[in-house]
Amino acid sequence: MSAERKFDNLYMMTLPRSGSTLFAQHLGQHSNIFHIGESMYWDMLDPKEAQCSCGQINCEFLGQIASEVIGKHYAQPLLKVWQIIDNKYWQGKKISSDSVIQKGDHVPEDESLEYWLSLSPFAIEYIIAAYRQHSPKQIYLDNTKLFHIAEKLLIDRNRWGVIALLRDPRGVMSSYKNTGIRKKDFRKAESVLPFCENFLRSVVKHENNDRLTIIRYEDFCVNPRLTLEGICEFVGVAFEDKMLNPINSSQTSKGHVLKGNHLLKSEGLIQISEDTSWVQNLTSEELGKLYENEPLLNLYVKYGYNF
């Protein structure tokens, strides 16, 4: 008996540095799921100059999407939301309208995070509509990540399914720190902890919504088949073995993502494996910042994490 599809679109609700790109690429191997990446980049990058996940610069497929969205600023609300949250919560700066709004944007004087959030579901759907014109797949996965947008989709959009991807906060801290080293941009590992707490509180708030499914990155690494089968059941599609093919293998499509992390540009096979490098990468002082945060630890313990 064939599965009955429950959703037209999927949204990845998670934290940066939580393995969402790898997970989304495996989902995108499904014959009926298209991973479009982070939609906000359509207001930041020109596909004629950016490298597509397929490896091409000036990718023909992305060029078709660009003809539908470039210049229309469909992704602008998503970019504004990221800018406000990034500056306010990640860097601790107080944000005013003038610092995020450019001249000529023609938005209400009292615009705010809530204003841009209210436009975000429409923004993603406009972009997905462009993809639908050029791909036969029926389900489109957006990896913009922000739980703020996920909450809007859970409230206002019945044909959206939301995947909450959790990762051990020590892994998030370590990956965030390593990214800073790679980019020569010093980052305090513990600076992600307030965002971790806000994210987990949102997950708890919506955990009983039948359009939300919660998975742990560590479980995906230990048993990818079981995790992907669970997602397929949630979405209402049949599991396909090709979803387990290693990223970058000759049997695997890298899809067409306008912007992805360095994983999409890596050479050689990318295997699904748990990253426990935090054991070596995080100092006792950095771990102490996490372990002294009892409310945050309790949220993670609720979902099976041990400290």
What integer best gives the mean pLDDT of the chain? 86
pLDDT digits (tens, 9 = 90+) for 264-294: 666 655 677 788 889 999 999 999 999 999 9
Q: Is 96 helix (H, G, I), strand (E, B) or coil?
A: coil
pLDDT-derived band at 225 (thresholds 50, 70, 90) equals very high
β-strand partners of 11: 142, 162
Q: How far apart are CA 272 and CA 223, in angstroms?
A: 9
Q: How far apart are CA 307 and CA 254, in angstroms?
A: 36
Q: Which residue has the higher pLDDT, 267 or 201?
A: 201
Per-residue confidence (pLDDT) for residue 261, from 0 to 100: 55
Lowest mean pLDDT among 20-34, 148-162, 212-226, 249-263: 249-263
Q: Which residue has the higher pLDDT, 214 or 272?
A: 214
Are the CB atoms for 24 and 13 separated by under 8 Å? Answer: no
Per-residue confidence (pLDDT) for residue 191, from 0 to 100: 86
pTM: 0.89
Q: How far apart are CA 91 and CA 94, in angstroms?
A: 9
Whether the CA torsion 68, 74, 76, 81 is positive or negative: it is negative
HSE-up (13 A, CA, CB side) for residue 232: 23
Q: How far apart are CA 307 and CA 300, in angstroms?
A: 9
- Superfamily covering domain 9-302: P-loop containing nucleotide triphosphate hydrolases (3.40.50.300)
Q: Classify residue 53 by burial, with Cβ atoms within 10 Å: 0-12, 13-18, 19+.
A: buried
pLDDT digits (tens, 9 = 90+) for 51-89: 888 888 899 999 999 998 888 888 889 888 888 877 665
Kindly tell me the number of DSSP H helices and DSSP E strands found in the chain: 13, 5
Pairing assessment for the beta strands 9-13 and 139-145 based on DSSP bridges:
parallel
Per-residue confidence (pLDDT) for residue 112, from 0 to 100: 83
